[in-house]
Amino acid sequence: MKYLYLICALLVVASCSSPKGEKGNSSEKEKVVNVYSQRHYESDNILLEKFTEQTGIKVNVVNAGADELINRLEMEGALSPADVFITVDAARLNRAKNKALFQKVDLSNSKNLKPQLLDTDGLWFPLTYRARVIVYDLKDVDPATITTYSDLAKPEWKDKVVIRSSGSGYNQSLLAYIIEAEGEGAAQDWVKGVVANMARDPKGGDRDQIKAIASGVGEVSVVNTYYLASLLNSSNPEEVAVGKSVGVIFPNQEKEGTHINVSGAAVTKSAPNKANAVKLLEFLTSEESQKFYAANSFEYPAHKEVPADSTVATFGEFKASGLAFARDMSLTEKAVVVFDEGGWK
């Protein structure tokens, strides 16, 4: 019976620790903005706290996967408490846009953002972007032998490619970009070629691929730049050593440019706190916040004048591709099918 007392005591403690999460409040006078965000980084929280300090507007956040949040927005419809939607994939931004979940707002900062990253209809705004680059073993690989993603499908790389699974959103958007730029046939050939060259079944995250190169399992891989940068800034010295064992190649410089994807934000159609939502977007696209993004998440800032972080800058300048692959989800969906048909696990 004494456990019953324990439970009662815990219940009392638990009720004292309430209120826990607050419900999204829609009254303007309380000065809040409600955010549905896929970005779950600690540095983003610090940035949002700065916004509250500057404006007195409280930021309420729910973090979850992009598609879960889009489904939730869709189901909630006009009743949704969300004011701002943030995700890390242009195709998902356009999926939500095509479902008419956003509203058009004027952002004075948008003229300062890199024009090739902007949404043609101005319904969402880029915050940062990421490049998907080829990394290679500094010991064994001559970087001059690789200039395009297609090179990885050449027979000379047999048993030397390590890359993550086709379930990865980053690989799906890369293949969507290849389908858009070179057509479905070329994409199918590329998938077949890379699958034939794989040193092992796809597994793990981007960092794990770099570690596999350091382990000698493979010699080349395709990863996002900020994962390499975060390895180079790791608290584990062994991980720093892993990061230093590879070099970076920006592929397709003679063609459309290296594949990039953006992280972006939009004001939702039913936003109960629209004015505050716009203030938040102005803040996130300001020069100050863009510098903060660059320094803390190792992504490339969307702002024209803000340079990349020093670690990322050592990878070099590059020509970035456009975002045509993400105009809607159809190319990403096609990419999933091409991966499956080509036997990319």
Q: How far is the CB of 321 from other proteins (least distance, A)?
A: 21
Nearer to other proteins, 155 or 237 (CB): 237
Q: What is the dihedral of CA 234, 65, 43, 226, to 10 degrees?
A: 40
Q: How far is the CB of 116 from other proteins (least distance, A)?
A: 25
Nearer to other proteins, 66 or 118 (CB): 66
**CA 52, chain centre distance (Å):** 24
Nearer to other proteins, 7 or 100 (CB): 7
| Residue 234: other Cβ atoms inside 10 A | 15
CA 118 to CA 108: how far, in whole Å? Answer: 13
Compute the chain's Rg from CA coordinates: 22
Q: How far is the CB of 55 from other proteins (least distance, A)?
A: 17
In this structure, what token pair is assigned to residue 52?
Answer: 């509250």
Long-range pairs for 306-312: beta carbons < 8 A, 24 or more residues apart: 309/229, 311/229, 311/232, 311/233, 312/225, 312/226, 312/229
Nearer to other proteins, 152 or 175 (CB): 175
Q: How far is the CB of 168 from other proteins (least distance, A)?
A: 9
Element (H, E) at 331: helix 330-342
Nearer to other proteins, 65 or 143 (CB): 65
Q: How far is the CB of 126 from other proteins (least distance, A)?
A: 20
Nearer to other proteins, 56 or 155 (CB): 56
Neighbouring-strand partners of residue 33:
59
Q: How far is the CB of 106 from other proteins (least distance, A)?
A: 27
